[in-house]
Amino acid sequence: MSPNQTPDLIKKIYPSLIWEKKSQDELFLTFDDGPHPEVTPWILDLLDHYQAKATFFCVGENLAQFNQTAIDTVNRGHKLGNHTNHHENGWKTKTREYLKSIYECNELFTEIQRRKNELFRPPYGRIKRSQILELKSDYRIIMWSHLAGDFKKKLDVSKSIRMLKKTRPGSIIVFHDNEKSFENLKAILPACLEHWSSLNYKFSVIS
């Protein structure tokens, strides 16, 4: 997947998934695949500079390993969401195993956030209808309207920035707090935050 905007058709096919939010003046930044002991703190410092809050979709095995980074994230006013325990691809995983992975990841959340977690994002955006049905009552399934593409090795960074400048109020944007995305992220995120701030956007957690 290159940097892209989610087509309206896809949003219509899966109306029970959340692709964007209704808002007058907010953007919803999200970071997937962390926490990471180096990348996540770098993002947190940058977000502080813009008084921005964001939602971090964490992988359980990283939460277990870098627990303190996740605690810092919450203490600095951000929100965590579930991204499975081992970053499973829903299309290739039996529904029972998929749910088990999500519930295992969730046990780690309760410790960190001291409250029930109700946000889930499927890794790769790949989730079966049977999995959606099972999860719908307990979770809000958060997709995205804009994908930065920061995980791509040969990303055209300026193209990604141009695409991200086309966000509108209520857009949900995906970045990654992992090692392979870090170089791209360092180029994209500061430029975008500067641009969005100049347009007076607020940056809110998904509530």
Taking CB under 5 A as the criterion, the residue among 35, 60, 123, 125 binding Zn ion is: 123
Residue 33 falls in the annotated catalytic set: no
Q: How far apart are CA 72 and CA 59, in angstroms?
A: 16
Residue number, 58 or 164, with CB nearest to Zn ion: 58
Q: Which helix (H) or strand (E) holds 31?
A: strand 26-32
Q: From the candidates 32, 33, 150, 177, which is the catalytic residue? A: 32
Joined tokens for residue 136: 């719908």
Minimum CB distance to Zn ion, residue 84 (Å): 8
Which 22-51 positions form the footprint of Zn ion (CB under 5 A)?
A: 32-33
Tally Cβ neighbours within 10 Å of residue 110. Answer: 11
Residue number, 123 or 201, with CB nearest to Zn ion: 123
Minimum CB distance to Zn ion, residue 157 (Å): 20
Q: Is 150 a binder of Zn ion (CB under 5 A)?
A: no
Minimum CB distance to Zn ion, residue 123 (Å): 4
What secondary structure letter does DSSP report for 180?
G
- Comparing CA positions, the residue from 160, 161, 158, 173 lying closest to residue 204 is 173
Asked if 10 and 155 touch (Cβ cutoff 8 Å), the reply is no
Joined tokens for residue 196: 């969005």
Asked if 78 and 55 touch (Cβ cutoff 8 Å), the reply is yes
Residue 32 falls in the annotated catalytic set: yes
Number of chain residues interacting with Zn ion (CB under 5 A): 3
Minimum CB distance to Zn ion, residue 34 (Å): 9
Residue number, 26 or 61, with CB nearest to Zn ion: 61
Residue 120's identity, in one-letter code, is: F
What secondary structure letter does DSSP report for 20?
B
Q: Is 81 a binder of Zn ion (CB under 5 A)?
A: no
Q: Is 177 a binder of Zn ion (CB under 5 A)?
A: no
- Comparing CA positions, the residue from 87, 74, 201 lying closest to residue 151 is 87
Q: From the candidates 83, 176, 177, 195, which is the catalytic residue? A: 176
Minimum CB distance to Zn ion, residue 88 (Å): 10
Residues that bind Zn ion (CB under 5 A): 32-33, 123
Q: Which positions are catalytic?
A: 32, 176
